[in-house]
C-alpha cells in the first residue's frame, strides 16, 4: 500500500509542482452606472468577460511570462516580477478594501464626453480614475463605439489595477508600456478579443463563445 502513496500525491498536486496556483477570480460590480441602459449593459458584459479572461489558463500562462518595469517611484512594487504581480492582482486587495478576497470590487461610472473633448481628444483618452479613490470613469464615446468591447475590457482591467496601487506616469514617457497597468490591461484586452463573439452586438443574450454551453 505504501508504495502507491508517492505517485498518488504527485498525481493529486500537479499544479503545486509546476508553480503558483491561480485562485478562482471574481469581478464584483458594487456600483455600475452608464448614462443609458445600453451603456450599463455593455459595462456589465465587459466585467463578465474580464472575469472570464482572469480565469482562463491561457491568459494566466501568458501573464506569467510578462516583464514589468516601474516608471515612477510610487509604484506598489518597484520593477515587480511576474509572480509578484500575479500574487497582488489575484489577491485583489484594493486600497479602499484591503482584505484579499480574489475579487475585483468595482465602482464604475460612465462620464459624458463633452463637446470640447470630442473635438480635441477624439476619444484617445478612454477613461480615468484617481489614486486612492474607488471610482473608475469611462467616457461615453468609448461606450457608444461599435466593436469597442475588447478595448473596454482592457480599460477596466487597467483602471482597476490602479486601485491595487500599481501606477504609471501621466506623461507619455517611453517606459509607460512596461508598467503593470499597461502590460496587464493590454494583455486582458488581447485575450478578451478571443472571448467575444464577433456578432455580440447583434445578439440579445450575449455569451462568450467558449462558454456557449454554460451561459444558459
Ligand atoms: Zn492608468
* Structure confidence by residue, pLDDT tens digits, 44-94: 999 999 999 999 999 999 999 999 999 999 999 999 999 999 999 999 999
Cα separation of 64 and 18, whole Å?
12
Judged by average pLDDT, the poorest of 45-54, 98-107, 123-132, 203-212 is 203-212
Please report whether residue 104 resides in a domain: yes
Please report whether residue 135 resides in a domain: yes
Q: How far is the CA of 159 from the centre of ligand 1 (A)?
A: 6
Residue the block writes with cell 469611462: 138
Q: How far is the CA of 3 from the centre of ligand 1 (A)?
A: 54
Q: How far is the CA of 52 from the centre of ligand 1 (A)?
A: 22
pTM of the model: 0.82
Split into its structural domains, the chain has a count of 1
Strand order in the sheet with 127-129: 26-33, 103-111, 135-139, 127-129
Please report whether residue 11 resides in a domain: no
Q: How far is the CA of 61 from the centre of ligand 1 (A)?
A: 23
Please report whether residue 138 resides in a domain: yes
Q: How far is the CA of 181 from the centre of ligand 1 (A)?
A: 6
Q: Report the CATH number at residue 100.
A: 3.40.390
Q: How far is the CA of 80 from the centre of ligand 1 (A)?
A: 17
Range of the structural domain that residue 59 is part of:
23-207
Please report whether residue 43 resides in a domain: yes
Confidence band, pLDDT 50/70/90 cuts, at residue 125: confident
Please report whether residue 14 resides in a domain: no
Please report whether residue 2 resides in a domain: no
Q: What is the pLDDT of residues 145-162, one digit of tens each?
A: 988 999 999 999 999 999
Please report whether residue 5 resides in a domain: no
159 closest CA partner among 167, 150, 171: 167
Q: How far is the CA of 198 from the centre of ligand 1 (A)?
A: 27
Cα separation of 140 and 123, whole Å?
9
Cα separation of 89 and 85, whole Å?
6
Amino acid at each position: 500500500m505504501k508504495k502507491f502513496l508517492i505517485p498518488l500525491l504527485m498525481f493529486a498536486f500537479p499544479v503545486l509542482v509546476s508553480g503558483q496556483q491561480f485562485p478562482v477570480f471574481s469581478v464584483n460590480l458594487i456600483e455600475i452606472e452608464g448614462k443609458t441602459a445600453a451603456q450599463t449593459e455593455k459595462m456589465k458584459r465587459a466585467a463578465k468577460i474580464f472575469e472570464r479572461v482572469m480565469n482562463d489558463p491561457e491568459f494566466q500562462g501568458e501573464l506569467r511570462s510578462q516583464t514589468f518595469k516601474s516608471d515612477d517611484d510610487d509604484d506598489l512594487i518597484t520593477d515587480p516580477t511576474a509572480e509578484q504581480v500575479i500574487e497582488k492582482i489575484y489577491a485583489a486587495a484594493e486600497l479602499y478594501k484591503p482584505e484579499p478576497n480574489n475579487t475585483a470590487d468595482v465602482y464604475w461610472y460612465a462620464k459624458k464626453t463633452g463637446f470640447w473633448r470630442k473635438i480635441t481628444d477624439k476619444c484617445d483618452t478612454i477613461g480615468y480614475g484617481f489614486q486612492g479613490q474607488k471610482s473608475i470613469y469611462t467616457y461615453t464615446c468609448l461606450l457608444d463605439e461599435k466593436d469597442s468591447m475588447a478595448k473596454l475590457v482592457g480599460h477596466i482591467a487597467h483602471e482597476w489595477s490602479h486601485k491595487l496601487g500599481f501606477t504609471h506616469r501621466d506623461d507619455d514617457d517611453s517606459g509607460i508600456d512596461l508598467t503593470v497597468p499597461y502590460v496587464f490591461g493590454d494583455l486582458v484586452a488581447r485575450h478578451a478579443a478571443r472571448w467575444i463573439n464577433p456578432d455580440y452586438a447583434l445578439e440579445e443574450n450575449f455569451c462568450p463563445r467558449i462558454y456557449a454551453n454554460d451561459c444558459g
